[in-house]
Amino acid sequence: MRGPLTLSWRERLTGRLRPSPTSEFLRGAKSSPHFFGWNPALRDPRQEHRRAYYDVVRRAIDAIHNSGWLAGGVEQAATQMCGPMLALNAHPDPSLFGGNVASAAAWSRKVEARFSAWASSAYAVDFTGQHTLGQLCAQAVKGWFAYGEILVLVKFDRRPGNTLGTKLQVLPPTRCPHEKTSVVGDTIQGIKVDARGRPLAYWIVNPGPTQWFPDSEVLVQARDETGRPVVVHVHDSPATVLRGMTPLAPALQVVRQFDQLANATLTAALIQAIFAATIESDAPTDQLLSALQDINEQDAEAGSGALDALMQAKASWYDRTNIDLGTFGKLIHLFVGERLDFKRSEHPNDNYLPFARMLLLEIARCLGITYEQLTGDWREATYTSGRMGAAENWLTNMYRRKHIAGPLMQAVYVAWLEEEIELGLTQFPGGIDAFINQRELASLCEWRGPPRPTADDYKTSKANETKLRNKVITREMWCADEGVDFDAVLEQLAREEDRAEELGVDLTVPTAQNSPGGGKRPADEAPNAEKDEAADEDQEEE
């Protein structure tokens, strides 16, 4: 606090102290007009999600169904995340195999092959027998963009011709009712939890594919007695929140604004196209319009009444002057004092494309893709912007693949592997009991998706060669970026070499010294590459 000796003469005279400088947040909020009326309520994140869930979800679904931009963007984002199907790359802890890395690798290759065969059969995977595992994963991921969560039931249904009974059923998350919350607190938004907040069971409406009775609610346990997953519920929400929220929620208003902008622009353009010409005159409208009609049309309306002298003169004039807006190259002579004005369309104007681009950029940002991927418009894109956009969004894509699509595939893999080991189809050290006790270590894996997009494959491959020489990356990491398995590549190369040796075919790859181009980029590609680089440099300088 300031003492009496630090007071100014004005403060001593008036007896009032000057306000001390402050660095508090929103210190100008009281005087700024931008903050007037902006007083949002502060609620728990769980309450925020519960209040807005149904309003947001139904608008998101309607937007995806009726917006070509949004439907295509969701398709693009889901394809980048999952591709045809996420490939299993199993790597269990070698300690489970006595520390023998080779035994663990051999076991992994066998498991990967059996899992791929099972996942490719719709009859073996889908509870309804219609979709493969890749299609079910894509359905769930596309649903995540609409609902913000994934709900899948792992059922058991052994059928003729099926060795395993593990089946999947993808359900819309609305089958787990948000409004079902108990007063005691053990059921929150359709999920029964324990004292720690851990989900124990889920209330599911119409769990069967053929059950359509609105009152058929079933409490389904999250896991069975051995810990095998029964309900797979995936979401990426804030702390204390048990349900998800669509990532498109911030962009729904923008989607609506873009639709209104497009509709208004199209309507204005159509109106101007229809009313392309006007006549300025003091004559009554009906008499003037009759002058625009041909002789036959005027005869059909001859009984409309007598004209006064002026109108008779004008009608006589227009009898000899036919104005036909549908006839090309027609020269006309109007009556004295009248003027024919042709209009041209002013829509869309110069501001339409920049404003529409900004709206689409915000939608693309929520989808986790670039503007060019959303719209297919690459006119203003360069090599640098393409690489930067792909690199930035690739991190988002990898995060969603690991935390949205990955947990679904992981739960399916664990359930499948447990039945494989229990039936003795896949040997595991210690049998099914050892697997259940060490389920996490035994089911360690990664899920590989589509390769990382590149704007120029040649430059990317040269960069990877440099990193490989400098021991920054490994061949396995390079293969992972290409979306392929390193062991599978080695095995395929060995088979190709054996087959080539059998047929006497030389598979030697030309080196930089003996290649026709001397290790340089092909001549037909070099000028374009140099032109792109020069254009990028000029753009950066500007």
Alpha helices for 170-294 (secondary structure H): 252-274, 285-291
pLDDT in tens, 184-233: 778 989 999 998 889 999 999 876 655 555 567 889 999 999 899 999 99
List Cβ neighbours of 64 (8 Å cut-off, separation of 6 or more): 70, 71, 74, 145, 146, 248
Q: Rounded CA gap, 481 and 487, in Å?
A: 14
Q: Rounded CA gap, 512 and 107, in Å?
A: 39
pLDDT tens across the length of the chain (542 residues): 445 556 665 666 666 655 566 667 777 677 777 777 788 888 888 888 888 899 999 999 999 999 888 999 999 999 988 888 899 989 999 999 998 988 998 999 999 999 999 999 999 999 999 999 999 999 999 999 999 999 999 999 988 988 899 999 999 999 999 888 886 778 989 999 998 889 999 999 876 655 555 567 889 999 999 899 999 999 999 888 899 999 999 999 998 888 888 888 887 777 766 655 666 666 666 666 666 665 555 555 554 444 455 566 666 655 665 555 444 444 455 555 666 665 565 656 667 788 888 888 889 989 988 888 888 888 887 777 777 777 778 888 889 999 999 999 999 999 999 999 999 999 999 999 999 999 999 999 999 888 877 767 788 888 888 988 888 888 888 887 777 878 778 888 888 888 888 888 887 766 555 544 444 554 444 444 445 555 555 554 44
The token pair at 388 is: 């930067």
Q: Rounded CA gap, 153 and 161, in Å?
A: 22
The token pair at 45 is: 């994140």
Predicted pLDDT of residue 84: 87
Question: How far from 333 is each of 338, 414, 436, CA to CA, in Å?
Answer: 10, 86, 95
The token pair at 100 is: 């023998």
Torsion of the alpha carbons at 209, 215, 216 and 217, rounded to the nearest 10: 110
- Give the DSSP letter of residue 149: E
Predicted pLDDT of residue 314: 62
* 295 CB burial (10 A radius; 0-12, 13-18, 19+): exposed
DSSP annotation string for 204-243: EES-STT---TT-EEEEESB-TT--BSEEEEE---TT--S
Q: Where are the domains of the chain?
A: 277-342, 456-513
Predicted pLDDT of residue 354: 82
Contact 401, 86 (CB under 8 A): yes
List Cβ neighbours of 446 (8 Å cut-off, separation of 6 or more): 89, 91
Predicted pLDDT of residue 422: 94
Predicted pLDDT of residue 287: 64
Q: Rounded CA gap, 81 and 86, in Å?
A: 9
Tokens 């100014």 locate to: 8
Predicted pLDDT of residue 450: 83
Contact 258, 69 (CB under 8 A): yes
* 170 CB burial (10 A radius; 0-12, 13-18, 19+): buried
Give phi and psi for 192, each to the nearest 5.
Answer: -90, 125
Predicted pLDDT of residue 272: 67
The token pair at 232 is: 């797979």
Q: Rounded CA gap, 80 and 426, in Å?
A: 32
Q: Rounded CA gap, 356 and 362, in Å?
A: 10
Predicted pLDDT of residue 288: 61
Q: Rounded CA gap, 150 and 235, in Å?
A: 7
Predicted pLDDT of residue 357: 86
| Closest-CA residue to 201 (of 211, 189, 213, 209) | 189
pLDDT in tens, 159-194: 898 889 999 999 999 999 988 888 677 898 999 999
Rounded to two decimals, the pTM is 0.74
